[in-house]
Structure 1
Amino acid sequence: MTTNAPPFQSRINAGSDSFERNRTDMQALVDQLDALCARSATLSDKARPRFEKRGQLLPRERLERLLDPGAPFLELCNLTGYLVDSDDPEASIPGSSAICGIGFVSGIRCMVVVDDSGINAGAMTAFSSKKVMRCMDIALEKKLPFLHLVESAGADLLQYQVEMWMDGGGVFARLARLSAAGIPVVTVLHGLSVAGGAYMPGLSDYVIGVRDNGMAALAGPALLKAATGEIADNGPLGGAAMHASTSGLVEYLAENDGHALAICRDVVASLGWNRHCSAAPTPGFEEPAYSPEELLGVVPVDYRQPYDAREVVARLVDGSRFLDFKPGYGVSLVCLQASIFGEPVGILCNNGPIDPDGATKAAQFIQLCDQAGTPLLFLQNITGYMVGTAYEQAGMIKHGSKMIQAVTNARVPRITLMIGASFGAGNYGMCGQGYDPDFVLSWPNTQIGVMGGEQAAGTMSEVLRAGAARKGIEVDEAQLKAREQAVIEHYDRQSSAFYTSGRMLDDGLIDPRDSRKVLGILLQTCREARHRTTHPNTFGVGRM
């Protein structure tokens, strides 16, 4: 919404010791994030001599050639697989062999997936399919053409797990659903695509194959020889030229990677995709009155240190202006009406645990936004709902349930940005991943879990002490302290944003300073989806 409210008057002192301490701590986490993301790119780039020998572009160069110059690209699931394939923080490679995100191709907003064949020939790891399936689900929900730059050796046989194979079926099913839903699927066959991977082009609407390098076959030469004894070369067996002239799998034959990507851009342009979406209004908007750089110093890395969530919002929304809904009621749950790049949004954020008044206030606010068709943004920094006799008697369960009902059933887009703690049922009430938000992203300081490590250790100690008292046994304090420390380390390791993002408990980590730009992209993506007309059919487009 556009509001005439005066700009928020910040009380942050950017010259204070506390601000500088926050900024230093947050910058260290951002540097860690940048280093991890660079780890994948650096390893992939080591394959450059091999790619140049084959006349190929590296995966990230392919992505750059495909996207519109200067247009935004939002990478998704950037840490997928981190501390999954290896539990060594120094050796684990994030990304799970794919680069994915939302970007513009020939002026059209698309979902793009690039196999990172510079790393282990693009072999799929434990979370590769999960990452690709998440991107396919977003493409289906947000009506985004799905573009896949394919070159993969298939499943990593050294890391084989039966669920990896089973997930492959989910990838192929989603390709079929995209086509049937009227969402174009365009594949560029840059290199190998064998075994199950052959169904990537097989289930695409348009296939562009690169002569000499592009290859698709249900069994590559090695598997074919082992299974049947037949000896065959790549070209006659599954080369792009053969598929363009004999099997009919390839619609467009390109001479090299650059040519293939130019054809892909032309194919996307030929869709006339934006004809099927009403033009977005072009409202004027003000930049925030405060620099996004200040976000590093506004939020303490230690979630136990309080701050006013409005200070964060003032650095995200247009003109730092917002309408504060019931500010004197349920004060720990802040509800604000504002706009981001001219897109109206209802914002819920936390200034402490949620009490009964805050829960009822949130439930009403969510329903009002749903009534008005206003997207919802949840800024999570929540340790949970209030507990204790007084809160139970005040109806905490009943009122908290109202909030969860509203969060779950709201029909408007819901975007969750985790910026601090995300514990227990607080994660649920503030639209955590289990409530299927349209997008959920995290800052690198986020801590996620059923509770904090110290809480878990304290709870365990109370239980053990009570059990010992019932049995008349004396507690070994030294042993108990050691167990407490082990619990704290176990919980805290799993609550780290880097650990949880590696397991896809969000759609990726972002630099806090990029939050406004990221939210703008997501809100505009949601708006396009709601105003786009597609032309679904029953079975998808069959290859002929």
Structure 2
Amino acid sequence: MHGLLSRALWGTIPQATRRAYHASVLPSLISTSSPEFQAKAAAMDELVKNLEANLAKARLGGGSKTAERMKTKGKLLPRERLNYILDPGSPFLELSPLAAHEVYDGQYIPGAGMITGVGRISGTECVIVVNDATVKGGSYYPLTVKKHLRAQEIARENKLPCVYVVESGGAALPHQANVFPDKEHFGRIFYNMAQMSALGIPQIAVVHGISVAGGAYVPAMADENIIVQNQGHIFLAGPPLVMAATGEIVDEETLGGGLMHSTQSGVTDHLARDDEHALALARGIVGDLGQARRPLASPSATPEDPLYPASELHGIVGTDVRQPFDMRDVIARIVDGSRFREFKKEYGTTMITGFANIHGYEVGIIANNGILFSPSALKATHFIQLCSQRQIPLLFLVNVTGYMVGSKAEKGGIAKDGAKMVRAVACADVPKFTVVVGGSFGAGNYGEALSSTSEKEINSILFS
């Protein structure tokens, strides 16, 4: 074996030496001082210089005027957003940086109005797609679509989470014939998002500015999203088109602002103060993804004691089930470090949902904070499905009198919305733990994993 070497002797040789045994140094007879070599090198150096100049120009986006307009509005520039969300000092592999270079006659569309690539966020490799609003308002040209789809293809093939940094006016209407109708056109973006989500590849969106028409579906179809208050807007049609179509006069904030979507429509999950806060929230979300990808049998973090003693629960809950209390005070006394990343905090406020660690294990917590209305049930349904997708165990903290009753609730579809929550609980293929902290009455039992027969469910009563 291996020429003259015996098997026993071969096993004693270091790996690096073994590789050298099979390889030999290649001789090079090229004369680097020859005229031919020098001519080739000079020609190639010139091409590389031109390439670097074009890349540098493309990185500037739409130019100083549009950049200045963004800055006067208090916004980060697209590449500043990218740098902010990436781990400090980590590499970023940019994809298709010269897409659309000298393609559209008379129009300069650097990078096809989009930045895409693979980078590290909170220790997790992600595909990042950033709309460059300095280039034609971040609108989609045919090659913008192609670039976006290519990034999604790489994400799917390599099972990398997708983070979309959104500020786009939708399709470039003069080019809509090559943007909308075909299989590999604009609609494919949303098909890919749905498919990847179903495969357990997280889809996360951060809305920094306008997200209109087809662009509104990027955050709407994301598994989890963030919007910047008084800056991000999501709507299918802007105020001018709404007025033309319906006669309604409405401003952007009322029509599709962050506060409205976070408190009323439920389209968005987290409301940020500014660009920096939004990107910090996104980093936290991706950080939780890293925990969720660990095996359930091992802790994902170092266990910590809560900041408040569990003995104080007696004084918080009491023995009178009619006496209300804030379930956040309970959560603060059972989770590691009393830290809790709340999900959809401003929406469906009678249900509290969010992520925390208990003894180092990540859990998704669903806690009642009053009677269940339709928004509360829809919020819980979304959260349960999210935890099931990410394989995060569920902890239900129950203190519920049931779902809301009355004609208004029935007209609002409370039965259907409550059923969605029950269905989500039944289909969630993760361990479920239910702790009855107060009362548990009516159909609320079914939505709180109390009446199921799954072997993955454990129920207990703390107080009643």
TM-score by length of 1: 0.49
Structure 1 57/251 Cα, relative in aligned 2: closer, same or farther at 3 Å?
same
Q: Distance in 2 between matches of 1:60 and 1:45?
A: 13
1:39 aligns to what?
57
Shift of 1:168: 1.6
Return the match for 1:258 from 254, 268, 276.
276
- Deviation of the 1:159 alpha carbon: 3.1
Q: Measure, in 2, the Cα distance between the counterparts of 1:142 and 1:189.
A: 25
Which of residues 107, 126, 134 is equivalent to 1:118? 134
Tell me, yes or no, if the aligned pair for 1:85 and 1:126 is still in contact at 8 Å: no
1:331-351 CA distances to partner (integer Å, 9 max, x unpaired)?
Answer: xxxxxxxxxxxxxxxxxxxxx
CA contact (8 A) 2:211 2:235 kept: yes
- Following superposition, the deviation at residue 11 of structure 1 comes to 2.6
Structure 2's unaligned 5+ residue stretches are: 1-14, 296-388, 392-423, 429-464
Secondary structure at the residue paired with 1:32? helix
Query: In the alignment, which of 229, 233, 252 is matched to residue 234 of structure 1?
Result: 252
Residue in 2 that maps onto 1:130: 146
Shift of 1:239: 0.6
C-alpha separation in 2, matches of 1:252 and 1:12: 61
Equivalent of 2:79 in 57, 60, 65 = 60
Q: How far apart in 1 are the matches of 2:24 and 2:174?
A: 60
Give yes or no for contact 2:123–2:290 (8 Å, CA) kept in 1. Answer: no
Which residue in the other structure is 2:100 paired with? 81
2:174 to 158, 168, 171: 158
Question: What number of residue pairs does the alignment pair up?
Answer: 281
Deviation at 1:275, TM superposition (A): 4.0
| 2:398 aligned residue | none
In 2, the alpha carbon distance for the partners of 1:128 and 1:164 equals 12
How many Å separate the matches in 1 of 2:63 and 2:254?
30
The answer to whether the 8 A contact 1:39-1:93 is kept is no
The structure with higher relative contact order (CA 8 Å, sep 6+) is 1
Give the Cα separation in 1 of the matches to 2:390 and 2:248.
Answer: 45
Code of the residue aligned with 2:52 in structure 1: it is D
For residue 211 of structure 1, what is the amino acid of its counterpart?
Answer: Q
| Distance in 1 (alpha carbons) for counterparts of 2:294 and 2:42 | 47
Alignment partner, residue 199 of structure 1: 217
Instruction: Work out the CA distance in 1 between the residues paired with 2:62 and 2:174.
Output: 19
Which structure 2 residues correspond to residues 207-286 of structure 1 after superposition, within 5 A?
207-272=225-290, 275-276=293-294
Percent identical: 40
**Aligned-pair CA distance for 1:45:** 4.1
Relative to structure 1, the CA distance from residue 83 to residue 45 in structure 2 (aligned partners, 3 Å threshold; closer, same or farther) is closer
Label 1:132 to 1:175 Cα distance change in 2 as closer, same or farther (>3 A).
Answer: same
Distance change (3 Å), C-alpha of 1:185 and 1:273 = farther
Amino acid of the residue matched to residue 76 of structure 2?
A: L
1:459-506 deviation digits (Å, cap 9, x = unpaired): xxxxxxxxxxxxxxxxxxxxxxxxxxxxxxxxxxxxxxxxxxxxxxxx
Secondary structure at the aligned position of 2:205 is classed as: strand
Paired residue for 1:12?
30
Deviation at 1:162, TM superposition (A): 4.7
**How many Å separate the matches in 1 of 2:92 and 2:36?**
34
| Structure-1 separation of matches of 2:154 and 2:224 | 20
Determine if contact 2:95/2:117 at 8 Å carries over to the other structure: yes
Q: Deviations over 1:266-285 (max 9, x none)?
A: 110011268459xxxxxxxx
Question: 2:58–2:98: 8 Å Cα contact kept in structure 1?
Answer: no
- Tell me by how many angstroms 1:54 deviates: 1.2
Cα deviation per residue 1:345-377 (whole Å; 9 max; x = unaligned)? Answer: xxxxxxxxxxxxxxxxxxxxxxxxxxxxxxxxx
Q: Hey, what does 1:104 align to over in structure 2?
A: 120
Residues 66 and 261 of structure 1 are in contact (CA less than 8 Å); yes or no, is this contact kept in structure 2?
yes
1:187 counterpart (166, 181, 205): 205
2:109–2:135 CA contact under 8 A, matched in 1: no
State the AA in 1 paired with 2:241: L
Query: Contact 2:82–2:130 at 8 Å: present in 1 too?
Result: yes
Distance change (3 Å), C-alpha of 1:92 and 1:45: closer
- SS at 1:127's partner residue? helix
Residues 418-445 of structure 1: CA distance to partner in whole angstroms, max 9, x if unpaired?
A: xxxxxxxxxxxxxxxxxxxxxxxxxxxx
Structure 1 residue 50 corresponds to structure 2 residue 66: no
Does the CA-based 8 Å contact 1:276-1:534 persist in structure 2? no
Tell me the SS of whatever aligns to 1:75. Answer: strand
Q: Give the Cα separation in 1 of the matches to 2:197 and 2:218.
A: 12
Q: How many Å separate the matches in 2 of 1:73 and 1:7?
A: 33
Deviation per CA, 1:213-242, whole angstroms, max 9, x where unpaired? 111011111221222222111111111111
2:202, 2:223 within 8 Å by CA — same for their partners in 1?
yes
Q: Secondary structure at the match of 2:112?
A: coil
Q: In structure 2, what residue type is equivalent to 1:199?
A: Y
Deviations 1:500-532 (A, max 9, x none): xxxxxxxxxxxxxxxxxxxxxxxxxxxxxxxxx
Give CA deviations for 1:363-394 in whole Å, capped at 9, x if unaligned: xxxxxxxxxxxxxxxxxxxxxxxxxxxxxxxx
- Deviation, structure 1 residue 22: 2.0
Letter in 1 for 2:290: G
Within the alignment, does 1:145 sit opposite 2:164 as a pair?
Answer: no
Please name the residue that 1:447 is paired with. Answer: none
Which SS does the other structure have where 2:204 is aligned?
strand
Deviations 1:264-318 (A, max 9, x none): 11110011268459xxxxxxxxxxxxxxxxxxxxxxxxxxxxxxxxxxxxxxxxx
Taking the aligned partners of 1:273 and 1:220, their CA distance within structure 2 comes to: 39
Distance across 2 between alignment mates of 1:273 and 1:133: 28
- Deviation at residue 175 of structure 1 after TM alignment: 0.6
Evaluate the alpha carbon distance shift between residue 186 and residue 27 of structure 1 in structure 2; reply closer, same or farther with a 3 A threshold: same
After TM superposition, give the deviation of residue 534 of structure 1 in Å: 8.2
Q: CA deviation at 1:81?
A: 1.6
* Cα contact 1:244–1:253 (8 A) shared by 2: yes
Other structure's SS at 1:96 match:
helix
Q: Is the 8 A contact 1:194 1:217 kept in 2?
A: yes
Query: What is the CA-CA distance between 1:41 and the residue it aligns to?
Result: 2.9
Give me the whole-angstrom Cα distance separating, in 1, the residues matched to 2:268 and 2:123. Answer: 25
State yes or no: 1:69 paired with 2:85.
Answer: no
Contact 1:81–1:126 under 8 Å retained in 2 = no
